[in-house]
Amino acid sequence: MVRYLILEDGTVFEGMAFGADAEALGEVVFTTSMTGYQEVVTDPSYYGQIITFTYPLIGNYGINRQDYESINPAAAGVILNENASFPSHYESIQGLSEWLAAKKIPGLYGIDTRKLTRILRKHGTVKGKLCNSADNRELTVKELISMPLKTNQVPSVSTKTSYQLPNRGERVVVVDYGVKSGMLRELSMRHCDVVVVPYNTQAAEILQLKPDGVLLSNGPGDPKDVPMALSMIRGLLDHNIPILGICLGHQLLSLACGAETVKLKFGHRGSNHPVKNLMTGKIALTSQNHGYTVDAASLENTDLILSHSAVNDGTVEGVVHKKKPAFSIQYHPEASPGPHDSNSIFDEFLHMMKTYKKEGILHA
């Protein structure tokens, strides 16, 4: 069956349908990840977006039981060049198309994803529609132009109630803005006693849980659409609770400390983004998925120091608080998918919690 992608600039791509027989509207973004499509599509930070894979062949190892980053994928649609219809892997339980159909996500394949990516890179944020007919192209373009981009999606993906992953180690409260399960796995692997709480939990409730540290998770949308997080974070800083912020959590920590966030032209999405640690001079390849960034110039009047920066475009990739036990990074140390170069961020967080608990001093 034929399917179309119509962009708000009027461009029409004709390809083949796979996944669900449905239509989708959303921001069209691209990821350069060569593998890990199951993790990408189930990452809650992709909520409402139509994901284009620049790697030409996707789906060849199917879908398995392990690689979920959330149970219900939040992406609006998937675009590929070649869809491997006969997956082969010993853990595969389903093909990508079948799985997307079951999750009600439409897909389009057989288009020139290089041409599409060039358009996305040139125009930045581009809205698009996956549909089964291009007869109403003009109407669809009008609909896309007037459609406001939804940026307040955290309430849709955050847990509604708190839950615990009990263990014998440090008590870590995870504030769930759309947490990837990879982060919970990394904490559990380090024996952390994890309590996951909804996005709008306030500092007093978190303090009652007697945390050794708090992880501010990743999540979809614009960090400025989560204003209730800022007073909570300031409350935790006032009580010297060790904090690690990842991705949206990093942007929220920065906003809470007085920095600014801005939207990037076309975002960073992929598993091969080099990041420089400015403290050690070392470069790590990182997994990324973000459309917003902390404005480097705005750090000047805050208590935050720039600790990491993106090698490709020089944007902010990490900050450290000068006076409080808090640091954050824009990329994904849990990888899922991607290289494990930055896995030690979780060890640093653990070290910070332990040191702080023992000596009540700031992590050096």
* Residue 124 marked ligand-binding: no
Q: Give which of 158, 150, 179 is closest to 42, Cα–Cα.
A: 179
Give the nearest distance from C-beta 245 to ligand GLN in angstroms.
10
* Residue 251 marked ligand-binding: yes
Half-sphere exposure of 14 (CA within 13 A, CB side): 6
247 binds ligand GLN (CB under 6 A): yes
Identity (one letter) of the amino acid at 283?
I
Neighbours of 227 (CB within 10 A): 10
Cross-strand bridge partners of residue 176: 198
Give the nearest distance from C-beta 323 to ligand GLN in angstroms.
25
Which positions from 60 through 99 interact with ligand GLN, judged by CB under 6 A? none
Which positions from 12 through 51 interact with ligand GLN, judged by CB under 6 A? 45
Residue 40 main-chain phi, psi, to 5 deg: -65, -50
Between the CA atoms of 39, 40, 41 and 44, what dihedral angle is there, to the nearest 10 degrees? 90
What is the distance between the alpha carbons of residues 199 and 69, in angstroms, rounded to a whole number? 18
Give the nearest distance from C-beta 315 to ligand GLN in angstroms.
11
290 binds ligand GLN (CB under 6 A): yes
How far out from the chain centre does Cα 318 lie? 15
The only residue of 128, 182, 221, 318 in contact with ligand GLN, by rule CB under 6 A:
221
Q: Any idea what the Cα angle at residue 349 is, between residues 320 and 281, rounded to 5°?
A: 50
What is the distance between the alpha carbons of residues 5 and 111, in angstroms, rounded to a whole number? 9
User: Which CB sits closer to ligand GLN, 290 or 321?
Assistant: 290
291 binds ligand GLN (CB under 6 A): yes
> Quick one: CA dihedral 101, 105, 108, 109, positive or negative?
negative
What is the distance between the alpha carbons of residues 164 and 265, in angstroms, rounded to a whole number? 38
Q: Which residues are catalytic?
A: 247, 332, 334
Stretch that binds ligand GLN, among 62-70, 72-80, 161-169, 218-226 (CB under 6 A): 218-226
String marking each residue 164-203 x if it binds ligand GLN according to CB under 6 A: ----------------------------------------
270 binds ligand GLN (CB under 6 A): no
Which positions from 124 through 163 interact with ligand GLN, judged by CB under 6 A? none
219 binds ligand GLN (CB under 6 A): yes
Burial class (CB in 10 A: 0-12, 13-18, 19+), 75: buried
Stretch that binds ligand GLN, among 232-240, 286-294, 295-303, 304-312 (CB under 6 A): 286-294
User: Which CB sits closer to ligand GLN, 117 or 251?
Assistant: 251
* Residue 331 marked ligand-binding: no
User: Which CB sits closer to ligand GLN, 60 or 289?
Assistant: 289
| Largest CA-CA distance found in the chain, in angstroms, rounded | 69
Site residue total, ligand GLN (CB under 6 A): 11
* Residue 107 marked ligand-binding: no
Site residues (CB under 6 A) for ligand GLN? 45, 218-221, 247-248, 289-292
